[in-house]
Amino acid sequence: MTDRIAFQGEPGAYSHQACHDARPGMEALPCATFEDVIEAVRSGDAAQAMLPVENSTYGRVADIHRLLPESGLNIVDEAFVRVHINLLGVKGAALSDVTEAYSHLVLLPQCSTFLREHGITGRVSPDNARAARDVADWGDTGKAALASELAGEIYGLDVLARNIEDHDRNTTRFLVMDRAPDMTRRADRMMTTFVFRVRNIPAALYKAMGGFATNGVNMTKLESYMVDGVFTATQFYADIEGHPDDTNVQLALDELSYFTSELKILGTYPADHARD
């Protein structure tokens, strides 16, 4: 369906929030796994996919860098979502009633100060939205969920405390994926994402990166990861500022291609304003 965007997780998850914020006119389609999200777009069940790639507190999202190059999809946008964590309880509950709070393993440490100050024990749930759904089902005023306000709206929970995360800059970066690439210059500030493998020659990576420095191209991210579990097969993931049609980007990519055995552009898209 052309009006649907797929995400991983249950309704109310932060990926759902990203869909709601970045694509408000599209219906959000929940999927069990990242692979299911990609397949939904491939099969035409959804027009686009919303995939998290990194979090400002916890770093890279596992498996995403491995999945993107083989997905057959193209990056057409990025979205930065501020992770506001809220304590959600059943109707009529008060903060003083809560003794246990449920959420994903990654979210619990992000609220450790608040939980400790209020004598609340953190409990692990498979997903923060699942935690909200379970709390609603249990109907126990002593149990609460750590999740988004959207999750509270969906499952009929009250917000007992807002924005309780320890760090006030916790943000997750998402990529919007589509079957068709969009190489049009839709903003003054564009980003380009690509993956590459260097040739097996001395100082290949150093030489490959030199073209970006000499041509004044700002590389905002460079990460390496193993391919197929082999220590000698390393692939690099990179984000740069600019569009492939820019002369300096063209020159840098041309120099990069000389020192690489594989080079694949995953997408060109406008830089999210939250980068500033």
Active site residues: 172, 174
Decide if 251 contacts 188 (C-beta within 8 A).
no
CA distances to 195, 244, 248, 255, 263 from 198, in Å: 10, 20, 21, 12, 9
Cβ atoms 4, 49 nearer than 8 A? no
The C-alpha angle with vertex 75 and arms to 208 and 274, in degrees rounded to 5, equals: 90
Tokens of 61: 């999202």
> Rounded to whole angstroms, how far apart are CA atoms 29 and 89?
25
Tell me the β-bridge partners of 262: 197
Beta strands in 148-255 (DSSP E): 158-161, 171-178, 190-198, 219-227, 230-241
The dihedrals phi and psi of 156, each to the nearest 5 degrees, come to 70, 40
How far lies 109's CA from each of 82, 103, 142, in Å?
17, 10, 20
Which residues on neighbouring strands pair with residue 195, listed in sequence order? 237, 264
Q: Are 1 and 114 in contact (CB under 8 A)?
A: no
